[in-house]
Structure 1
């Protein structure tokens, strides 16, 4: 009986884990675009001011992953501090600031949405966790109906993030790359930033925007 209880607990934990995800939903690259390793890439996370710690994590993890591949990436927060004032100036002022830092490309990570959604998760249902209750004898049948009668399900709240990533070339004044991604119930801010950075760099390699190391 104790082992059975542990089994159902494990099933519950696996169900909760399955609800969490961080994945790339779409991406696009300008034909023939390719980043040179000597070019300097400024990474800027555009998030609400109250999410400053998330901004730092998003920038630092993407910078770290790009550096692992041999690219010259830097964080806007680390370079300019929390009050970079880029949004308060005009385009000429922002470009002048980037050129003063020898920046060739700018990579923005924008949090386009953060929402909370309630969903109902049903219980075991008519047949319980084992499928057809008539298969396998008494216990699957009993457990299936027990689950239906005594496990009415529950309501859970999911937190969803949607990210939009763009890579701009300052010299050519054009967009080189765009990626859309989503995170559902990330266990920690660090984990979300880590997985996001991994997936973006992997996709940039797949798109042949950056070279495989």
Structure 2
């Protein structure tokens, strides 16, 4: 009985892990584009004002990962502060970038944040105690399998999904160099989401040969 309890607990932990994910869904790079390490990259996270702490984490983690690879990256929040000093004036914004010696701008936009409610049946796995009835173990496994499907109540789970879009612009050439779409489902903490996001983006930039691998 004790072993069964440990087994079910392990299954529960695996299920929780499976529901929590951060992944890249698509990416694209301008042909032949490649960043130079001496160029300065400004990282700007575009998130709702009420999620300022998430903005700071997203910017700081990307800056950290880019610096690890030898690139000159800076955070817009750390440079300009919480106020929206770039405003809506393109000329003023570009002038501000020039004053900070910025060559490229990486934007990270939270394009969507949604909550999804799903019904999870009590028995939805495979084997003697879940899924379709098990025929190879006698009466009880078969009976228990059907009983669970017919009578045991399930539960509702609510997942929070973040969708992100990352763009890298070259200010001198005035063109988009890189685009990536990614999603995070039920991140345990804002820090963990920002950390995994930054790791995946930099890894993909290496895969796309936009930045060099050490």
Bin for the TM-score computed over the shorter chain: over 0.9
Structure 1 residue 43: Cα displacement: 0.2
Structure 1 residues 143 and 9: alpha-carbon distance in aligned structure 2, compared to 1, 3 A threshold: farther
Q: How many residues align?
A: 212
Secondary structure at 2:213 match in 1: coil
Whole-angstrom distance in 1 between the partners of 2:168 and 2:205: 10
Q: When the two structures are superposed, what TM-score results if normalisation uses the length of structure 1?
A: 0.93
Cα-to-partner distance string for 1:146-191 (whole Å, 9 max, x where unaligned): 4224432111111010001000000111100000001111111111
What is the aligned partner in structure 2 of residue 119 from structure 1?
Answer: 118
Q: When the two structures are superposed, what TM-score results if normalisation uses the length of structure 2?
A: 0.93
Secondary structure at 2:130 match in 1: helix
Whole-angstrom distance in 1 between the partners of 2:193 and 2:25: 15
Structure 1 residue 68: Cα displacement: 0.6
Whole-angstrom distance in 2 between the partners of 1:151 and 1:21: 28
Residues 30-69 of structure 1: matches in 2 within 5 Å? 30-69=30-69
Cα-to-partner distance string for 1:78-129 (whole Å, 9 max, x where unaligned): 111111421x241110011011111000000000000111111122159633
Structure 1 residues 130 and 164: alpha-carbon distance in aligned structure 2, compared to 1, 3 A threshold: closer
CA-based RMSD of the aligned residues comes to 1.7
Whole-angstrom distance in 2 between the partners of 1:57 and 1:100: 25
What is the aligned partner in structure 1 of residue 195 from structure 2?
Answer: 194
Structure 2 portions without partners, runs of 5+: none
Q: Higher mean Cα deviation, 136-145 or 97-106?
A: 136-145
What is the aligned partner in structure 1 of residue 79 from structure 2?
Answer: 79
Structure 1 portions without partners, runs of 5+: none
